[in-house]
Amino acid sequence: MHKKISRWVKDKQQGVKRALVTAYDYPTARFAAAAGMHGVLVGDSLGMVVCGDHDTLNVTLEQMCYHTRMVRRGAGGCLVFADLPFGTYEKSPEQAWESAGELLRAGADVIKLEGGAEMAATVAFCTERGINICAHIGLTPQRVRQWGSFQRQGNTDAEAQRLHHEAAALSTAGARFVVMEAVPDQVAARISRAIDAVTIGIGAGPDTDAQVLVAHDVLGLEAESPPFARRYLEAGNLQQKAFVQYVQDVVSGNFPPRRPH
């Protein structure tokens, strides 16, 4: 097993928590690494927070590789996760393996894909051929056009059981990590205790092995954030103020200053 991943597994066994944040570019990856972040995720959420789309479905593999290269350059010793975008892996294990290879060559250490038990064969195929896979269950944003909205998952006993079954199937198939998004806290806790894979929660309570947040939420760059996110900064407001001041300075002649001849 990858030396860095075996540290994550050891930490799971010892109850030591780990933190990840999304990163889409070199400076964010550099700040994350310098902050002691354990992992950075080049998420296809970039379709929304960087490109301004309503969902993640327009993101291409080429875009993901482009951003993964930038993040790799800044990520130092952080484990770099990268998302397989919609339409690049669901058809067959072979398709997933080929797309994952592109992300590996761009610098990713771990490849993330969305889906439950139906993806177990793909996870096994990729794992057996040397690719570390992170599965993603619960609210899987690539299904949003099927569901009609971003929906919390696992609210009934039957749904909770289905999630548990999916997580177990993916872990048994070889997934090293399982992201659980927008899942009830107790369901995520139970799954985390039950499976070998390292669980990464987002809106899944405090009892997953690791947490991930979207950088734009942590930094306050989005107008609104989901209720489970914590905004550690209002960088959007600061950026707006800086731009306003710059415009005023140019218009008023305060910038640039006159230089002596």
What is the three-state SS of 44-99?
CCHHHHCCCCCCCCCCCHHHHHHHHHHHHHHCCCCEEEEECCCCCCCCCHHHHHHH
Instruction: Report the residue from 43, 115, 154, 184 that binds ligand KIV according to the rule CB under 6 A.
Output: 43
Cis peptide before 256, with omega less than 30 degrees from 0? yes
H-state helical runs in the chain:
3-14, 26-34, 46-49, 61-74, 93-106, 120-128, 144-147, 157-172, 185-194, 215-218, 235-252
Determine contact, residues 127/174, Cβ cutoff 8 Å. Answer: yes
Binding to ligand KIV, residues 219-248 (CB under 6 A): none
Q: 57: closest CA among 143, 138, 116?
A: 143
Q: 137: closest CA among 162, 156, 158?
A: 162
Binding to ligand KIV, residues 144-203 (CB under 6 A): 179, 181, 202
From 38-46, 60-68, 158-166, 230-238, span contacting ligand KIV (CB under 6 A): 38-46
Instruction: Report the residue from 82, 103, 214, 219 that binds ligand KIV according to the rule CB under 6 A.
Output: 214
Residues β-bridged to residue 198: 177
Determine contact, residues 209/18, Cβ cutoff 8 Å. Answer: yes
Distance (Å, rounded) from C-alpha 145 to C-alpha 57? Answer: 9
Nearest residue to ligand KIV by CB is 43
- 3-state SS assignment for residue 210: strand
Q: Least CB distance from residue 50 to ligand KIV, whole Å?
A: 11
- Closest CB to ligand KIV among residues 54, 129: 54
Question: Strands 132-138 and 210-213: what pairing?
Answer: unpaired
From 40-48, 94-102, 143-151, 241-249, span contacting ligand KIV (CB under 6 A): 40-48
- Closest CB to ligand KIV among residues 47, 249: 47
Interaction of residue 40 with ligand KIV, rule CB under 6 A:
no
Task: Please give the size of the binding site for ligand KIV, defined by CB under 6 A.
Answer: 12
From 24-32, 37-45, 150-158, 168-176, span contacting ligand KIV (CB under 6 A): 37-45
Q: Least CB distance from residue 52 to ligand KIV, whole Å?
A: 15
Reported as half-sphere exposure (CB side, CA atoms, 13 A), residue 37 has a value of 27
Q: Least CB distance from residue 253 to ligand KIV, whole Å?
A: 44
Which residue of the set 62, 181, 222, 224 is catalytic?
A: 181
Would you call 181 a catalytic residue per the annotation? yes
Binding to ligand KIV, residues 89-108 (CB under 6 A): none
Instruction: Report the residue from 39, 44, 192, 220 that binds ligand KIV according to the rule CB under 6 A.
Output: 44
Active site residues: 181
- Residue ranges for the known binding site for Mg(2+) are 44, 83, 114
Binding site for ligand KIV (CB under 6 A): 22, 41, 43-45, 83, 136, 179, 181, 202, 212, 214
